[in-house]
């Protein structure tokens, strides 16, 4: 006589949680947004003032948009940007050691590229000109390039972009695509092969550890050494390299990188699954589609502050002119 007790009362049962694997994120859309911001605002800000403009670019083009877009996609920015997982100190130190070897390998690649490309291209895209000037100017540029740029660019490319691509593609494809887009956004054909190589290795570091911090350490060492060399170059346009010298530097870098890569594999035996980083802010909402209303007011205020500071840089330039 109790067989019909529960009939008609299923609505009292607790609802099931939405599936934990909602659709994918578009890495290409994110890249196009970064490219638009970089070309339209970042380059302009740097024309207003080299150091302050570069500082503005790293914060409001590469650092803030990934966090804002993740928050607006019902995703917790920490896990999605690979910031939440804290790697052991030895992994960070190993990443820094990789950065040293990467510098020699990438410098060799760039030396070969510079020797093969037309001299006009090499002169046009010579980044050492950014470090010309007084010692305070050189120090300011070096600090931004070696400290802020690695953090901001890793959050953008090995954080948001790599995570977004991994919602649609296997790790190898996602790493290669993120590296290609990372090299492309520099808009520099001379550095393109070297930056592509860096992007692949940095993406591999981030994927295996599930964290951007080892890649940040490697990026910082590479950029710091690059800033030092650029400062010491003193604007010498003829200080290039030959194919032989470039191949030698590549051989040294790759020889040093090989045992470090093997050590990295041993230090990261089980790369975490990408789905573990898709932590939704509202677990009851299955969608990770971007919605502006989900962006916290604080993030919107920071974006407004960025536009205000951009205007201030323009005003400063006008007053100086």
Question: What pLDDT was estimated at residue 6?
Answer: 42
Q: CA–CA distance from 170 to each of 15, 22, 152, 269 (Å)? A: 32, 16, 25, 18
Using DSSP's 3-state secondary structure scheme, residue 250 falls into helix
Q: Which of the four pLDDT bands, split at 50, 70 and 90, describes residue 236?
A: low
Q: What is the DSSP letter of 268?
A: -
240 with 113: CB under 8 angstroms? no
Classify residue 201 as exposed, middle or buried by CB count within 10 Å of its CB (0-12, 13-18, 19+): buried
Phi, psi for residue 91 in degrees, rounded to 5: -70, -40
134 with 279: CB under 8 angstroms? no
157 with 199: CB under 8 angstroms? yes
The percentage of residues in the chain with a pLDDT greater than 90, rounded to a whole number, is 79
Q: Which domain covers residue 179, as residue numbers?
A: 34-272+296-320
Cα(80)–Cα(89) distance, integer angstroms: 21
Bridge-partner residues for 280, per DSSP?
75
Q: Which of the four pLDDT bands, split at 50, 70 and 90, describes residue 300?
A: very high
Phi, psi for residue 19 in degrees, rounded to 5: -60, 145
**What is the domain count for the chain?**
1
Question: What pLDDT was estimated at residue 128?
Answer: 86
Length of the chain: 321
Please spell the DSSP secondary structure of 117-178, one letter per residue: S-HHHHHHT-GGGGG-S-HHHHHHHHHIIIIIHHHHHHIIIIIIIHHHHHTTS-HHHHHHHH
Enumerate residues 6+ apart whose C-beta is below 8 A from 77. Answer: 66, 67, 70, 71, 83
Q: Which of the four pLDDT bands, split at 50, 70 and 90, describes residue 180?
A: very high
Judged against a pLDDT cut of 80, whether residue 11 lies above it is answered with no
Q: How do residues 122-174 score in pLDDT, each as one tens digit?
A: 999 998 888 888 889 999 999 999 999 999 999 999 999 999 999 999 999 99
pTM: 0.90
Residue 23 lies in a domain: no
Q: How do residues 44-98 score in pLDDT, each as one tens digit?
A: 999 999 999 999 999 999 999 999 999 999 999 999 999 999 999 999 999 999 9
Residue 56 lies in a domain: yes
- Of 183 and 232, more confident: 183
Q: Give me the sign of the Cα torsion angle 257, 262, 263, 269.
A: positive
Question: What pLDDT was estimated at residue 4?
Answer: 44
Which whole number is the average pLDDT over 279-291?
Answer: 94
Judged against a pLDDT cut of 70, whether residue 220 lies above it is answered with yes
The chain-wide mean pLDDT, for the chain, equals: 90
Bridge-partner residues for 75, per DSSP?
280
Residue 51 lies in a domain: yes
Judged against a pLDDT cut of 80, whether residue 185 lies above it is answered with yes
161 with 27: CB under 8 angstroms? yes
Residue 5 lies in a domain: no
Q: How do residues 75-90 score in pLDDT, each as one tens digit?
A: 999 999 999 999 999 9
Structural tokens at position 146:
């070696």
Residue 11 lies in a domain: no
Residue 284 lies in a domain: no
Judged against a pLDDT cut of 70, whether residue 206 lies above it is answered with yes
Which whole number is the average pLDDT over 28-36?
Answer: 96
Residue 222 lies in a domain: yes
Using DSSP's 3-state secondary structure scheme, residue 30 falls into helix
Residue 6 lies in a domain: no
Angle at alpha carbon of residue 308, lines to 303 and 312, rounded to 5°: 145
Q: Which of the four pLDDT bands, split at 50, 70 and 90, describes residue 244?
A: confident
Cα(258)–Cα(264) distance, integer angstroms: 10
């Amino acid at each position: 006589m109790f067989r019909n007790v529960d009939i008609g009362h299923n609505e009292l049962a607790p609802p099931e949680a939405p599936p934990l694997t909602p659709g994918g994120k578009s890495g290409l859309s994110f890249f196009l947004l970064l490219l638009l911001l970089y070309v339209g605002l970042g380059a302009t800000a740097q024309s207003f003032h080299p150091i302050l403009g570069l500082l503005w670019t790293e914060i409001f083009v590469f650092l803030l948009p990934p966090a804002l877009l993740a928050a607006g996609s019902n995703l917790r920015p920490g896990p999605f940007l690979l910031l939440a997982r804290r790697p052991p100190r030895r992994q960070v130190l190993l990443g820094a050691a990789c950065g040293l070897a990467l510098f020699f390998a990438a410098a060799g690649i760039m030396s070969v590229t510079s020797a093969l490309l037309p001299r006009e291209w090499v002169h046009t895209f010579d980044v050492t000109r950014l470090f010309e000037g007084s010692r305070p100017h050189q120090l300011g540029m070096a600090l931004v390039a070696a400290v802020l740029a690695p953090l901001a660019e890793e959050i953008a490319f090995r954080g948001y972009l790599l995570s977004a691509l991994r919602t649609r593609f296997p790790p190898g494809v996602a790493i290669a695509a993120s590296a290609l887009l990372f090299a492309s956004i520099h808009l520099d054909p001379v550095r393109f092969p070297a930056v592509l190589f860096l992007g692949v290795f940095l993406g591999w570091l981030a994927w295996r550890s599930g964290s951007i911090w080892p890649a940040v350490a490697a990026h910082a060492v590479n950029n710091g050494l690059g800033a030092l060399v650029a400062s010491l170059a003193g604007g010498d346009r003829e200080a290039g390299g030959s194919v032989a010298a470039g191949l030698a530097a590549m051989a040294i870098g790759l020889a040093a990188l090989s045992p470090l890569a093997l050590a990295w594999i041993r230090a990261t035996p089980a790369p975490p699954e990408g789905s573990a980083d898709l932590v939704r802010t509202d677990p009851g909402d299955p969608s990770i589609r971007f919605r502006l209303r989900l962006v916290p007011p604080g993030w919107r205020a920071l974006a407004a502050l960025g536009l205000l500071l951009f205007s201030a840089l323009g005003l400063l330039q006008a007053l100086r002119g």
